[in-house]
Amino acid sequence: MQAYLDLLKKVMETGEDRPDRTGVGVRSIFGHQMRFDLSKGFPALTTKKLHLRSIWAELLWFLKGDTHVSGLHDYRVKIWDPWATAEECAKFGRQEGDLGPIYGHQWRNFGATQLPDGTFQKDGVDQIQNIIDTINTNPHSRRLIVTGWNPKEATNVTLPPCHTLFQFYVSTDKKLSCQLYQRSADIFLGLPFNIASYALLTHLIAATCSLGVGDFVHTIGDAHLYLNHLEQATMQLSREPKPLPTLVIDPPITSITDWTPKQIRLENYEAHPHIKAEVAV
């Protein structure tokens, strides 16, 4: 995970201080890319311990097309709760806990018809299933793309998608790679989750399609460090990285939605203690 630490250091040393929508303020750069060879280990941050259950549960929640926090609460995960309060949901005419057309909706029901009560028909595009079907029938396609950014619906949620588009690539030796474009990255709190989540997604799609894994390429637009995270970032940069762990997924699978967090684990994950920091909402 040296690539992540290099980005953290770069932003601290060369980023510009800017205002942001939360009022906290950020130090930011624009345009950065990292590459992780998934065959050499799982890119879970080791300079601070990650809450892996939250990462696994959130990704599987997305893949099921779920957009209500109750699906996360089933696994005692509350990372989306700040945006699911009664006050936030009421801004869009939704009940508490209903996050609206966020990632799961866009991935599994893109462009669906919205009903008068604010819910959606199941008549949209299932982008995830389309990806799996295309990989199985035309693996060298250059159209293995999923978009989470729907301009029509981006203003109908409290937190529009930060990771906005990803593309898969199948090599001739049957290894699956993924490149993500992320418009906005909270480097200290969010980015380690994003890296691990998309690495896991690549593994899950590869397993579903009987492929090996190649690279995860992470391209970022606005890479920023909140100004109230500078002390924590300095502490993290003082720590020595540990060897990367190995991802283990228990088969068999019949569908991308059949996975549960209990089937996913990291072997030999050793990390420095967690570093607490406040989320900017």
DSSP state of 263: G
Residue environment code for 13-29, b if the CB has 16+ CB neighbours within 10 A, otherwise e: eebeeeeeeeeeebbbb
Indicate the helix (H) or strand (E) that contains 92: none
Kindly state the DSSP code that residue 276 receives in the 8-state scheme: -
- Annotated catalytic residue: which of 89, 162, 178, 209? 162
Burial classification of residue 241, based on how many CB atoms lie within 10 Å of its CB (0-12 exposed, 13-18 middle, 19 or more buried):
middle
Q: Which is it for the CA torsion 143, 178, 5, 25, positive or negative?
A: positive
Does the active-site annotation cover 209? no
d(CA 80, CA 21): 18
Indicate which residues carry an active-site annotation. Answer: 162
